[in-house]
Structure 1
Amino acid sequence: MQSLPLSDCPQEISSLVTFYWEQFVQNCRDNNTVCNDLDRLPDSFWADLVTVWGGSSYVAQQCCHHPDWLLALAHEYDTHNQSVTDPVMPALALTLADIDREDLVMEAVRQFRHRTMVGIIWRDLTNKATLIETTAALTQLAEECIDASYQWYYQYFSAQWGTPAWQQGGKEGKPQHMVILGMGKLGAGELNLSSDIDLIFAYPQAGQTEGKQKAISNQEFFVRLGQKLISALDANTKDGFAFRVDMRLRPYGQSGALVLNFDAMEQYYQDQGRDWERFAMIKARVVGGDKKAGGDLLARLKPFVFRRYVDFSAVNALREMKQMISREVVRKGRQHNIKLGPGGIREVEFIVQAFQLIHGGRDPALQQKSVFKLLNVLAGQGYLPLAATQELESAYHFLRKLEHALQAWADQQTQDLPKDKTQQCRLAWSLGFADWSLLAQTLEEHRKKVSYHFSQMVAEPTEEHASNAVLSCWQSLWQGQLSENEATQQLIAHQFQQPETILQRLQQLASDKSVRMMQRKGRQRLDAFMPILLAAAIHQSDPSNTLLRVLPLVERVLRRTAYILLLIENPVALQQLLKLCAASPWIADTIARYPMLLDEFLDVGSLYSPPDKETLADELRQQLARVPEDDIELQMETLRYFRMAHVLRVAASEVAGTLPLMKVSDYLTWIAEAVLEHVLYIALHYVQSRYGHPGGIEGDQVEFIVIAYGKLAGIELSYGSDLDLVFVYNAPHNQSSSGPKEIDNSLYFMRLGQRMIHILTAQTPSGQLYDVDMRLRPSGASGLLVSTINAYAEYQADKAWTWEHQALVRARVVAGSPQLTVQFSEVRAQVLSQARDQEKLKAEVISMRNKMRDNLATKETNGGRSDAAWLAETKFNLKHDYGGIVDIEFMVQYMVLAWSHQYSDLLTYTDNIRILEELEKAGLLAPESANLLREAYKAYRSAAHRLVLQNQSGVVTGDSFHEYRQGVVALWQQLLGDTPSPVAHESGAD
């Protein structure tokens, strides 16, 4: 027989492997097993055998008891790769199909498991399989044993008691199966070498069995089946066990029913589900039984696990769970347990799960189950710094490999480090360390890093808030323990300018029915938060207004106090919230309407640094890529949150003074463009899934474009701007779509346009994306929703009014077919560059402007009047009054229409600032005049932005911007020869 290569092994390993080899040889002789083939194997096989047997007594013993298993491994040995090949796992179900006795089922399951485990451990200890490959193979093994055993017992019991059925109106229903949920590492697909398997059993619907004279309830059937299934996997027989089964994660734990129907499961988690059960359910996955019904069950339970809002209650729950585990570790003296001890496996998993529960409701990428994959998501999505995730991933990999090495010894579920010197030597050698001290040092370094990151996650936030003495002072006021006079004096002493109003609002909040009806946990959070809020508000320049702007948010989230917990847990987020609410009531109102935006305050860096155009588009693309294409509701919510979050970032940057006016409009425009691009994609996918591809068009490109007019086209969007859009397509009239439900091309594109408008304007829990105005399409509100490019060109050439050509000056394609975009640009250039009768053009421009003034301008405005008394009495509508924004826009449009037939560069841009630059370059406008119009335009728009952020209309005092107004009016008279006259009546601002 072969001599083993033991010269490089420690004595402990050499002795152990020699002992098992002698047993193996003796067993071969006793059983007349032919082992001649082993002599022909390469040296690398014998080196691997020493490694495996030195690291796993379990594998060595299995090979000694079953020499044919080692011979089979040797036969699998790939001399090219010099490794045991990946397992081709036989189907246990095929073996069980020929068995009719329970004892033989249990024997077959155990033998299948042991045989497969030998190969898995061999590959793991010789590093021929990665950790992820090993855990995946172990998971596959467990699922095969679970489902094959379940299927056998289902048939076995159905033959005795009938088949459990769906009850459908008294008629015979279709058979129903049990759903077996794998929890923990089994659910995550990352099972370890000797792991318990955590299971939960459920079945779809109450009822009774059919097909036998004596029926039993479905509940009884599945309880009996579940009991037998547990025994088939867990019971210790002469062949050992297959998998230790833990059912304690089921509803009500050990005291609960072994199996519940779906309705009872859903009701339990809705009414009684606890925080730790949310952590457990993150990894729930169907591992046996009815996979389709299991998917339906998990969909019903998903709202319990993943909240639609940012949920910082997970951190507090995590803190409590860790404290409980730590107490148990100390009590049982298990500080050296690499799973439960400090810096262990559980802490890495807790960090990942906390982010899943906090953000997973809004980020589908966090709803997967693998820790390794999720660590990459945390880094890629910016939840954790890359360096932190790399340290956690490295530590987790090391800890899991160490866990496998511990469990490979004897196929035991252990994570305790050995105290015995021989075992320590064996463990170090198995993992490739020269001695125990080096292994212990490496382990300690990893555990310290994990402990640090975990402590950052669960750190108590109170130290970052005001001192306990200050909080106690405000706690007394909030709890009503002060007299009204004492409370008022305290507010005055802390610079609250409206103490009576503040006190009244706090009393109203405290006595509100919603507060009185709050559950205990929610009320505790509110009582903890209000002193923190009051203490933080005093650091603002106007504490009263700041607090009054934040209180509507508090009232809005009384039923979802996870938002309150977010602000308690994140003092910096609270500071930024108060800072922005103090600066802008518009921001305060927006956050009160959509509290989910509080998530944006968790990263101050991104809050004041909106991304550039390419990054914006890529970010939205990535977010939507994680949403199933058929989940239109989640797609719409994703779009809405994206838009709101980035508009908030722009507003925060503008308020902070880090973003100038032109950049503000740029960003708001880029946001809208990114949204429209994906709205078109989503709408097109929806239409194509029903009607196929439009007829008569070669290739996959759908010839459809979204044309923007007005502020969007001019890259001048403000916070409340609507979108002026026109839809155009190019396809043959006499063709129909290719789908199972054919419709003609005109209807096809009509449906596409309607779908886009629905996605943009539909009211959801997150509001609507944008208001959309389609009145600039050919023939206005009476025209078709979608036009062909030929019909559009014909209308613009023959039927459009001058004011429609003015609008066309500020029109550009923002989404859709590149080829059709080129055609539109050609149509636009042809229409705008026509030679026009300038006197007639002036008259039509003046006429339209006067109509707008009559309806929208402020009473008695007059650009030529400048005496102080008059200015003090009147107001200036920034947009519609003489010398305002519209006057500048009309002059620019007039000049483009008048001269673009000679100066084609005037058609290059659609925004007023760059058109003015082109007019100056062409010599059509004096530099001082062009500069006046540019500066006035920017000043007006900047003021309008500030007014929006203060929730004020676009009207200022009459003495504002007087020099700009006079200059604009003078240029209007110079260009158009039109002298302003007082407006006949007053109307509000636009």
Structure 2
Amino acid sequence: MTTWDPVTPGVSTARLVRLGFHDAAAAARHLADPALAGIRDDSLLLEALSATADPDLALLGLVRLAEAADDRPVLLSTLASAKPLRDRLLGVLGVSAALGDHLARHPGDWRTLVTYDVQDAHPTPEYFRRTLRAALEDRSQGQLHGDAALDTLRVAYRRCLLSIAARDVCGTADVAQVAAELADLAGATLDAALDLVSREHPVEADQCRLAVIGMGKCGGRELNYVSDVDVVFVAEAPPGVEEGTALAAAARIAAAMMRACSHTTREGTIWPVDANLRPEGRNGPLVRTLASHLAYYERWAKTWEFQALLKARPVAGDLALGRRYIERIAPLVWTAAQRENFVADVQAMRRRVVESIPHTEVERELKLGPGGLRDIEFAVQLLQLVHGRADASLRSGSTLDALAALSTEGYVGRADGAALDEAYRFLRLLEHRIQLHRLRRTHLLPTDSADLRRLGRSLGFRANPVGELEATWRRTQHEVRRLHEKLFYRPLLDAVARLQPGETRLTPEAAAQRLEALGYADPAGALRHLEALASGVSRRASIQRTLLPVMLGWFADSADPDAGLLAFRQVSDALGNTHWYLRLLRDSGAGSGGGAAAENMARVLASGRLAPDLLLRAPEAVALLGDPDGLRPRSLAALDSEILAAVGRAPSAEVAVQIARSVRRRELFRIVAADVLGRLDVDEVGRALSDVTAATLGGALRAATDEYARQIGGAVGTRLAVIAMGRFGGHEQGYASDADVVFVHEPEEGVPEPVAAKQAHAVANEMRRLLQLPATDPPLVVDADLRPEGRQGPLVRTLASYRAYYERWSKLWESQALLRAAPVAGDADLGARFLDLVAPLRWPAAGLTDNQVREIRRMKARIEAERLPRGADPTTHTKLGRGGLADVEWVAQLLQMQHAHHVPALRTTGTREALAAAAEAGLLDAQDAKVLDDAWLEATRVRNAVMLVRGRPSDQFPSDVRELAGVARLLGYRATGAGPVGAGTVIEDYRRITRHARAVVDRVFYGEGEDAPARSR
């Protein structure tokens, strides 16, 4: 039998039950409340209530609001006519009893959901700051103070929170955006509280500059609705204030600000401000200077403190000081992974967190429990700290952003990354909904069925809210824990190597033991690669089953056999089905193990990251490894011929440069492979790389010229030459070198100079554009900053313009830079005349005056003092360090500028040739020349080896032990009982060689009469 409510005929309790009301009788009474007169029969209202997470709660909140509202008619009419307000208001009321309480106390705040367009607006941190500041300005009394100000701040904070919750519940902001807005609101609230405290303590406020650094979820812009806001404070003294006075004042301001946020007034509290992540925790001073922070982190900080600093971000106070704090702290964070037992410490810390959870709560703990948020966050942070040292794309404070970067860069599999992203969003959304109900700090899944039902409905589960919610939670928990174990700990995989039956067939256990004995760091992973390579009955698998037992030993004779095997698998996946690749492997003597191509491939692929990267971009270059002459660098003439012929046939400039790039890609692999296998010395590598760069630029210049000619419908009216500078001009390029150049042009007869200049600029810019187009090739950066006036000067000049500039305005450093000028592309005659023009500058007839020598020495000393990267070790920095490349090159260049006018042999662009010529002419002691030459060679070899191993340029030795071992291996060191592959000895030897070189530099370059501070660092 149907029961009808006597006051609201037409709304039966049965219908209310169908609409999702749990207590239909109470709902009928609420609908009959006089405060809802005029809308109680509105079917749209009932449907909107039915769509909420908790219709009973939403209806109760609506009645309370209507009863309290002074503008009830406006509220009800707007509610009836405006669907956006109806959805926002009822959506929030159906999720959050706490915000319902707020609206009952401050009914006018419902208008926030009308004036604030949650559909389109994305509030910025400044929006929240303006909103809170405006609330603290009373129009009749001016600025608010004391309890009135604190009450107002709390009300304004919850008004902003109401808007964020509406966007959240209505689905117009995803969980990441909501978390970011909550963090931005927290920062604005801290700033507002700091303003209030500064008003109350004006003397102290004037005595200090205070920055508030957000930590944890606040710093990472992923805050919850209710959470401690973790901060650290950094202060400095304004001019004229003693540091001790400033710190004392800052501590009083900081403590008062914390109380302003966490103190309970009649409007409740906002959230606790927790400063326990500061150095020494609660036992340390509340406020420190930047220098004090740095001293602590450099000397005493524990591993977990660097992990916490991942999310550090200035959020309030003196933001400029906060940014300086981050800039100085960041290098320490990204070297933390070098600490002894770093990975083990992070793993142990996570285990301790799990062990500390009460047994009764562990299965309901969303944040700390197994399969919870911390599993994802710890895994992501560990990967960030390990790989982010060299990969800046991973350095995000946001878990989701960092996870996306890890997935994009290949540190996490795409499927695993997507699964973790989905799980993290679900868990954070669930956490938000739990906290939003009462605005209480909790991370436990509730046990009450009504709470679970509300949660389930808020997440979109309607058919069986409780069952679907619990099933999704358990499934997510299981998946997160699985992926956490996979990423956070070394995976124990039981893959099987299915090798050829007979002598080479190994059981999984035996294969694992052999791989461990050979030095593979991850035998289980290696087994997986072997299985993928050798399983099946295909021809490809058969050849590889024969080769792999031998190749495993070749891979093992390197610093990173795991990487070599992985690269081999990748190349095989790319080329395994091509007939010539299979024939190359077979004909290399698979059965005997004496095949040159297979052994070369193994040693090259295991050398580091650069060679496999190049080969995977051009897998067909494997054929070079089986050709007796394949690893001999091609001449510049041959490269020019090939590239220019291809450019001439190309249908467009872009296609032409793509062809030139493909040639460069192949040649880079040829050089790298020959270098790794010991077929080239340092000078040969430098010349070969410079020749490849020159040929590529020549092809790009021809393509750009032809393209411009097509555009204007005629010949280009000027001749253009490309002049190499720096290491490029010296034929000393390394694997990571840019192409330093200047451009010179000369109008054709009868062509006005303005027209020729316009065309020359167009061609040069087109050439640079073509070389910078997105591509998978290793980058070739054309750097023209050594031209007259640098970046501010014209990209291309005529010969006459160069002459005018050099006669009037040229500086000494420009003459020094011209020592390495050499034509490499374009009009050869014009290039030769450019060299004739600059000869008096780089080889002055009168040599150098004493003042000029002093100026060069001052320039060198200034570079030593200013350009060495912060935190770099000056004893191992190959470019700017003591006895490094710059030291040796400046000695050679000073001697050239002083004496080349009467010693023709010094008129060379090569550093080693200049040193040899100076020694031959008696300008440099033979032993000193050898010491400098040895240091230059060693620094160049180290730079090239680092690039070969890491695949990224660096002027310092790698901090990773395995990478350092790879560098040592390429430099000819081998494993000893004292350590892997001479990893320690290589640095000791480098320091010894460069220390001797620095002593020569101090004596020869700076002279005996120079002050010691100018001569040494």
Shorter-normalised TM range: 0.5 to 0.7
Contact 1:348 1:396 in 2 (8 A): yes
Contact 1:181 1:285 in 2 (8 A): yes
Contact 1:181 1:201 in 2 (8 A): yes
Question: Which of 423, 426, 445 is the aligned partner of 2:454?
Answer: 426
Question: Which of 345, 350, 354 is the aligned partner of 1:317?
Answer: 345
**Equivalent position SS for 2:308:** helix
Equivalent residue letter for 2:145: R
Instruction: Provide the rounded CA distance (Å) in 2 between the counterparts of 1:650 and 1:77.
Output: 52
Instruction: Provide the rounded CA distance (Å) in 1 between the counterparts of 2:833 and 2:827.
Output: 10
Match for residue 408 of structure 2? Answer: 380
Match for residue 450 of structure 1? Answer: 480
**Equivalent position SS for 2:212:** strand
Instruction: Provide the rounded CA distance (Å) in 2 between the counterparts of 1:798 and 1:607.
Output: 48
| CA shift in 2, pair 1:279/1:570, >3 Å | farther
Instruction: Within 5 Å, give how 1:193-592 maps onto structure 2.
Output: 193-204=225-236, 209=241, 217-307=245-335, 313-331=341-359, 333-434=361-462, 435-459=465-489, 539-540=517-518, 567=521, 572=526, 583=554, 588=558
Instruction: Provide the rounded CA distance (Å) in 2 between the counterparts of 1:300 and 1:337.
Output: 36
Instruction: Within 5 Å, give how 1:687-706 maps onto structure 2.
Output: 705=722
Contact 2:53 2:457 in 1 (8 A): no
Contact 2:294 2:328 in 1 (8 A): yes
Question: Which of 163, 177, 180 is the aligned partner of 2:206?
Answer: 163
Contact 1:312 1:358 in 2 (8 A): no
Match for residue 767 of structure 1? Answer: none
Instruction: Within 5 Å, give how 1:104-143 maps onto structure 2.
Output: 104-143=148-187
Q: Deviations over 1:840-873 (max 9, x none)?
A: xxxxxxxxxxxxxxxxxxxxxxxxxxxxxxxxxx
1:646 has 2:610 as partner? yes
Equivalent residue letter for 1:143: G
TM-score (norm 2): 0.51
Instruction: Provide the rounded CA distance (Å) in 2 between the counterparts of 1:15 and 1:36.
Output: 18
Contact 1:728 1:786 in 2 (8 A): no
Instruction: Provide the rounded CA distance (Å) in 1 between the counterparts of 2:482 and 2:819.
Output: 66
Match for residue 976 of structure 2? Answer: none
Q: CA deviation at 1:341?
A: 1.3
| CA shift in 2, pair 1:274/1:68, >3 Å | same
| CA shift in 2, pair 1:392/1:725, >3 Å | closer
Gaps of 5+ in 2: 1-35, 496-511, 531-547, 576-604, 634-662, 673-687, 698-711, 748-752, 758-786, 837-968, 974-1017
Question: Which of 93, 118, 132 is the aligned partner of 1:53?
Answer: 93
Contact 2:723 2:743 in 1 (8 A): no
**Equivalent position SS for 2:69:** helix
Equivalent residue letter for 2:400: F
> Kindly, what percent of the aligned residue pairs are identical?
21
Instruction: Provide the rounded CA distance (Å) in 2 between the counterparts of 1:402 and 1:345.
Output: 11
TM-score (norm 1): 0.52
Equivalent residue letter for 1:443: W
| CA shift in 2, pair 1:237/1:651, >3 Å | same
**Equivalent position SS for 2:610:** helix
Match for residue 23 of structure 1? Answer: 64
Instruction: Provide the rounded CA distance (Å) in 2 between the counterparts of 1:186 and 1:161.
Output: 26
Instruction: Provide the rounded CA distance (Å) in 1 between the counterparts of 2:338 and 2:573.
Output: 21
Q: Deviations over 1:603-655 (max 9, x none)?
A: 5568867999xxxxxxxxxxxxxxxxxxxxxxxxxxxx999631376799999
**Equivalent position SS for 1:369:** coil
| CA shift in 2, pair 1:53/1:96, >3 Å | closer
Instruction: Within 5 Å, give how 1:491-890 maps onto structure 2.
Output: 539-540=517-518, 567=521, 572=526, 583=554, 588=558, 604=567, 645-647=609-611, 660-661=626-627, 669-670=667-668, 705=722, 729-731=743-745, 746=802, 784-785=821-822, 789-790=826-827, 792=829, 795=832
Q: CA deviation at 1:71?
A: 3.0
Gaps of 5+ in 1: 165-175, 466-533, 541-546, 548-565, 592-596, 613-640, 684-697, 759-780, 800-947, 953-990
Match for residue 217 of structure 2? Answer: 185
Contact 1:643 1:675 in 2 (8 A): no
**Equivalent position SS for 2:230:** strand
Q: CA deviation at 1:26?
A: 1.9
| CA shift in 2, pair 1:271/1:642, >3 Å | farther
Instruction: Provide the rounded CA distance (Å) in 2 between the counterparts of 1:340 and 1:389.
Output: 20
Match for residue 892 of structure 1? Answer: none
Contact 2:564 2:606 in 1 (8 A): no
Instruction: Provide the rounded CA distance (Å) in 2 between the counterparts of 1:112 and 1:581.
Output: 67
| CA shift in 2, pair 1:373/1:342, >3 Å | same
Q: CA deviation at 1:242?
A: 2.0
Instruction: Provide the rounded CA distance (Å) in 2 between the counterparts of 1:246 and 1:66.
Output: 29
Contact 1:584 1:949 in 2 (8 A): no
Match for residue 640 of structure 2? Answer: none
Equivalent residue letter for 2:60: F
Equivalent residue letter for 2:61: Y
Instruction: Provide the rounded CA distance (Å) in 1 between the counterparts of 2:338 and 2:723.
Output: 34
Contact 1:110 1:239 in 2 (8 A): yes
Instruction: Provide the rounded CA distance (Å) in 1 between the counterparts of 2:459 and 2:835.
Output: 83
1:68 has 2:108 as partner? yes
Match for residue 151 of structure 1? Answer: 195
Instruction: Provide the rounded CA distance (Å) in 1 between the counterparts of 2:270 and 2:359.
Output: 31
Instruction: Provide the rounded CA distance (Å) in 2 between the counterparts of 1:582 and 1:403.
Output: 52
Contact 1:311 1:359 in 2 (8 A): no
Instruction: Provide the rounded CA distance (Å) in 1 between the counterparts of 2:719 and 2:379.
Output: 46
Q: Deviations over 1:571-604 (max 9, x none)?
A: 859999999996489x85xx5xxxxx89956955
Contact 1:347 1:450 in 2 (8 A): yes
| CA shift in 2, pair 1:798/1:120, >3 Å | closer
**Equivalent position SS for 2:234:** strand
| CA shift in 2, pair 1:143/1:721, >3 Å | closer
| CA shift in 2, pair 1:308/1:20, >3 Å | closer
Q: Deviations over 1:799-858 (max 9, x none)?
A: 9xxxxxxxxxxxxxxxxxxxxxxxxxxxxxxxxxxxxxxxxxxxxxxxxxxxxxxxxxxx
Instruction: Provide the rounded CA distance (Å) in 2 between the counterparts of 1:702 and 1:325.
Output: 71
Q: CA deviation at 1:42?
A: 3.0
Matched length: 613
Contact 2:723 2:825 in 1 (8 A): no
**Equivalent position SS for 2:479:** helix
Name the structure, 1 or 2, with higher relative contact order (CA <8 Å, separation 6+): 1
Equivalent residue letter for 1:442: T
Instruction: Provide the rounded CA distance (Å) in 1 between the counterparts of 2:692 and 2:231.
Output: 41
**Equivalent position SS for 1:128:** coil
Q: CA deviation at 1:108?
A: 2.6
Match for residue 909 of structure 2? Answer: none
| CA shift in 2, pair 1:404/1:786, >3 Å | same
Contact 1:92 1:109 in 2 (8 A): yes
Contact 2:213 2:314 in 1 (8 A): yes
Equivalent residue letter for 1:193: Y
Equivalent residue letter for 2:228: D
Instruction: Provide the rounded CA distance (Å) in 2 between the counterparts of 1:19 and 1:317.
Output: 51
Q: CA deviation at 1:676?
A: 8.0
| CA shift in 2, pair 1:11/1:192, >3 Å | closer
Contact 1:206 1:219 in 2 (8 A): no
Instruction: Provide the rounded CA distance (Å) in 1 between the counterparts of 2:720 and 2:164.
Output: 55
Instruction: Provide the rounded CA distance (Å) in 2 between the counterparts of 1:28 and 1:347.
Output: 46
Contact 2:720 2:826 in 1 (8 A): no
Question: Which of 82, 101, 104 is the aligned partner of 2:145?
Answer: 101
Equivalent residue letter for 1:263: A
